[in-house]
A and B are shown apart, each in its own frame.
Chain A
Amino acid sequence: MSTVEYPSIDWLAITPLIILLGGMLVTLVVAALTPVWRRGTYALATAVLVVPTVIVEMVLWNRIGHEGPVSIINDALSIDRFAILVWIAIAIAVALVSLSTAEYLRREDLDGPETYALYVCAALGGMIMASANDLIVLFLGLETLSIALYVLAASHRRRAESQESGLKYFVLGGFASAFFLYGIALLYGASGTTNISAMGEAFAGGVLTGNDDAMLLAGVALLLVGLAFKVAAAPFHFWTPDVYQGAPTPVTSFMASVGKLAAFAAMLRVLVVALGNRADDWRPVIWVLAVASVVIGSVLAVVQSDVKRMLAYSSISHAGFILIGVEAAGHGNADGVASSLLYLVLYGVLVIGSFTVVALVARTGDANTGVGAFRGLGRERPLLALAMTVFVLAQAGMPVTSGFIAKFSVIKAAADSESYAVAIVAMVASVIAAVLYLRIMINMWMADPESGDESREAVRVPLTAGVVVALGAAFTLFAGIFPGWLIDATRDAVLR
């Protein structure tokens, strides 16, 4: 008589996932059964949900420090510090985005629990991606994240742009997923396994037969197409400006923070753990993606007139910077992974802060996102304008902000791997991108008012969004002046 063998489960390790999943389901059910909640309570409930999640994640971080990383559920999930750091970042991003969404939904008359449930659902997908130790599990996480994002992008029911954005993202995202899945199939063919760490061992031998080699290379290429699409790296970036512009602004901030975090975490794990021994094959590809992204992102950002599009293109250029760290990791440089992680975490906060300000300035209808909408913000809302100044200066890489630390860390990793060319190209591109940040600042502080400006709706700063902006700006400056703890944390989180 044969019995089904169940894998033993390390329950503590998946507690963060359970808290978020359970919390989301309970919130949805209770909200469906009760009358509409008071203003802001859906967002608050989501933010509160994050607190125990982060606490458990910190406990796990400590446990890994003592007992080492574990691989759970039949090797499907790998609970190491790399995964936990990304989990913590994702959880905090969920809380921040939820708070910034609260009054937005009220203003747009869309309030309800669904948006928050979708945030949490997407975050779960992202967390699974960050810790997946099996390509199939990784794909499941990717789809969970993506499908939630497709719905979120289209969630502004009265804006055609939002619908368009959701549909575009869905169609193109479906394409990318297909590429990704095909890549998995070919890699399975080349290695005989879908497990990421087993794949790493399979490729450790070095010599593969000719046919397997072709299969491996094709698999890596297709996998990279899928991942590069998700991280919005050029030349797979064409969806980004349209989707970022059309999606409700807080959702855009969610895509740019959590979406990038999860996709880059997956990319790093696949490339470093599964294909680490094949770095010579994928590193040149990453090099090209990085250079293309920083240059195309920066140059096209400058010629935009819509702030959401500008930030979308600038996010492409930031993705290029993160790819520089990945490229350094391809040289076997542990600092490459650490610098990418550091960049992701710092950029996540920056982008949430920036888009929160954009959402406020967009005013009712979420349509006022031209750069002219920022005109006179310095007089009308000096503190909000000051916070936005901090965010854009940080994105430009000015010292004393977290943006400088982020850029410095990837440039250092690149120089350490003797990838000087890519470092120089990236720094020059960042000067080009500075034009766009200067344009936002000029409109906020220096532009003269134009006719019609007086009759515009005033920019209101509700408490919850104000808190997010203030926290974001404070963190940006704090991490710019005292980055030591974060640098050490990302170094501890390096994949081995």
Chain B
Amino acid sequence: MSILASGTHGGLAFPVLTALVLVPLIGAVLTAVSSNRRPEYTKLIALVSSVITGGFGLWMLASFETGDAGFQFVSKHQWIESWGIGWHLGVDGISLFLVVLTGVLFPLVIIGCDPHHDEKPYLAWLLLLEAGVMGSFLSLDLVLFFLFFEIVLVPMYFLIGGWGYDQRIYAATKFFLYTMVGSALMLVGIVTTALLARNDIGRLTFDLVEIAEQGNFAASTGRWLFFAFAIAFAVKVPLFPLHTWLPDAHTQAPTAGSVILAGVLLKLGTYGLLRFGVYLFPEAAVWSRSLFLTLAVIGIIWGAIAATMQTDLKRLVAYSSVAHLGFIVLGTFAFTREAIGGGVMQMINHGVSTGALFLLVGMIYERRHTRQIAELRGLQKVAPIFAAAFTVVMLSSIGVPGLNGFVGEFLVLIGSFSTARWWVVIGATGVILAALYLLWAYQRVFHGEPDEANSTFRELRLREGMVLLPFIGLIVFCGVYPKPMLDRIDPSVKSLLERVEEKSGFVAPDMVHVETHEGEG
């Protein structure tokens, strides 16, 4: 075994998770105070700190102990002692790849997207955003999580408002307020959860693990609290009918903002539902599953139909996110190993493929200064390599077998079939609709003869290609060989489900039962 593997499961002397949060934070401060006269140094500082963060992320991935369901690399310190709030970070199979994706995505975005003006504050906000996202995925303390979850709003608000397009201020404000309404209720929920759990634990603590293991909530209380959390996450996902901020935010955000928003920020919602909603209040989650399954399926269909109708390419991709996230929620509330595992995998897949789609749409905008589908035509003729890259990413988003999107979607659908059959039956049409709107858009934009404005469309440049390469590599690798990923995700999902079964009495039939069940029907 290598040195890296020698110290796993909390034994790692170096607090790698703390570093994952602090390195981008320090990078943000250094970027902000760097000299105005040497802009290339500013960019270098930002790039180096994001690359170091990404490196730590990969290092953590390499030394992650496969098969261990618990939290690893745990870092636990007192922070505000009189209120029982601690600096408690940890990673398990559910958050592992989200952290790695965050670490990988930011350097690529910093290289691949050009803000056009005021690069220094732009980079500082991006790095602050990275610190916030990392912290949200790693926090195992309710208040600490809330802190990161909420602080993410500020850099994203400034990125959309400062570097976005025409309607940027409207979109930024809408994004900020929608998310804040959700988290306002969640804060009350967090405080109440900890105060009620105090009776069982014997002291006030906001530690997620302690509350989950020792806290005992009456069913009715648990349901109220679950909804206080779930509304915040449902806004973030976004779940129908709370999704209306998303198309605006996505369309108006600068490319980097859209990539990060789709890639990792939306996952705060689905991740939060698993980590805080289902884990803390399994009984309430099972009790309300019909509601969430229904909203998820509506989201899938609604998102797909809305995407079909869009004339703006970026808005189309934004609505496709609503549909894709619907699949993840469907998987989450199906409560089977395959469905939740597939949902977790789909979080990564969606991050990779939709992130890449936004990058590509951003490149189209850079060249043509329009995102209107009607104004684009015949790009395949003038930029074949660009078209090829777009094709791969698009097929992954559609969920074509052999690419990553298929694995996640298929697992969700097959896993949900036994416990949420009719929802799956309707939801599965979303797969077909995805093919419809994406292929139709592709046909309109890339096929045909380029008119005058499109005939000068520039081919993919080397730097752009280098940025896209990791995305396409991941798309193909995860599609062909998803086992290493699933092996790391599955144990944590299994232990989460065991907890759900123990607390709620909900037993998911395993796959063998499905067949007999079908025979009877």
Ordered nearest first, which 10 A-B pairs have the shortest CB separation?
A: A427-B184, A399-B147, A415-B191, A446-B161, A431-B180, A415-B192, A487-B82, A412-B191, A399-B150, A423-B188
Asked whether any CB of chain B lies closer than 8 Å to the CB of A308, the reply is: no
- A residues near B (Cβ < 8 Å) are 393, 398-400, 404, 407-408, 411-412, 415-416, 420, 423-424, 427-428, 430-431, 434-435, 438, 442, 445-446, 483-484, 487-488, 491
Q: A400-B151, A424-B188, A438-B177 are in contact. List 14 more A-B contacts (CB 8 A).
A: A404-B150, A412-B191, A415-B188, A427-B187, A427-B188, A428-B184, A434-B176, A435-B177, A442-B169, A445-B162, A446-B169, A446-B172, A484-B80, A484-B82
Asked whether any CB of chain A lies closer than 8 Å to the CB of B216, the reply is: no
Asked whether any CB of chain A lies closer than 8 Å to the CB of B181, the reply is: yes
Asked whether any CB of chain A lies closer than 8 Å to the CB of B173, the reply is: yes
A424 — which chain B residues lie within 8 A by C-beta?
184-185, 188
Whether A446 touches B187, Cβ cut-off 8 Å, given contacts A412-B195, A487-B82, is: no
CB distance from A346 to the nearest CB of B (A): 14
With A and B bound together, what is the CA distance between A458 and B83 in angstroms? 45
Residues A483 and B80 in contact, CB atoms below 8 Å apart: yes
CB distance from A325 to the nearest CB of B (A): 14
With A and B bound together, what is the CA distance between A415 and B162 in angstroms? 38
With A and B bound together, what is the CA distance between A428 and B186 in angstroms? 11
Whether A431 touches B181, Cβ cut-off 8 Å, given contacts A408-B191, A442-B169, A484-B81, is: yes
Q: Which residue of A lies closest to B78 (CB)?
A: A484
Asked whether any CB of chain A lies closer than 8 Å to the CB of B168, the reply is: yes
Residues A446 and B168 in contact, CB atoms below 8 Å apart: yes
Q: Which residue of B lies closest to A386 (CB)?
A: B32
Q: Which residue of B lies closest to A437 (CB)?
A: B176
B81 — which chain A residues lie within 8 A by C-beta?
484
Chain B's interface: helix, strand, loop or mixed, by majority?
helix
Q: Which residue of B lies closest to A445 (CB)?
A: B162
B79 — which chain A residues lie within 8 A by C-beta?
484
Q: Which residue of A lies closest to B144 (CB)?
A: A399
Residues B184 and A430 in contact, CB atoms below 8 Å apart: yes
B148 — which chain A residues lie within 8 A by C-beta?
399
Asked whether any CB of chain A lies closer than 8 Å to the CB of B146, the reply is: yes
Q: Which residue of A lies closest to B150 (CB)?
A: A399
A400 — which chain B residues lie within 8 A by C-beta?
147, 151
- B residues near A (Cβ < 8 Å) are 79-83, 143, 146-148, 150-151, 153-154, 157-158, 161-162, 168-169, 172-173, 176-177, 180-181, 184-185, 187-188, 191-192, 195
With A and B bound together, what is the CA distance between A434 and B172 in angstroms? 13
A399 — which chain B residues lie within 8 A by C-beta?
146-148, 150-151
20 pairs across A/B with beta carbons < 8 Å? A398-B150, A399-B147, A399-B148, A412-B191, A420-B188, A427-B187, A428-B181, A428-B185, A430-B184, A431-B177, A431-B184, A435-B177, A438-B157, A438-B173, A442-B169, A445-B162, A446-B169, A484-B79, A487-B82, A487-B83
Among the listed A415, A428, A438, which residue makes an inter-chain contact with B176, where contact means beta carbons less than 8 Å apart? A438
B181 — which chain A residues lie within 8 A by C-beta?
428, 431
With A and B bound together, what is the CA distance between A126 and B80 in angstroms? 31
Q: Which residue of A lies closest to B152 (CB)?
A: A399
CB distance from B320 to the nearest CB of A (A): 28
B173 — which chain A residues lie within 8 A by C-beta?
435, 438, 442
CB distance from B479 to the nearest CB of A (A): 39
B154 — which chain A residues lie within 8 A by C-beta?
393, 398
CB distance from A290 to the nearest CB of B (A): 15
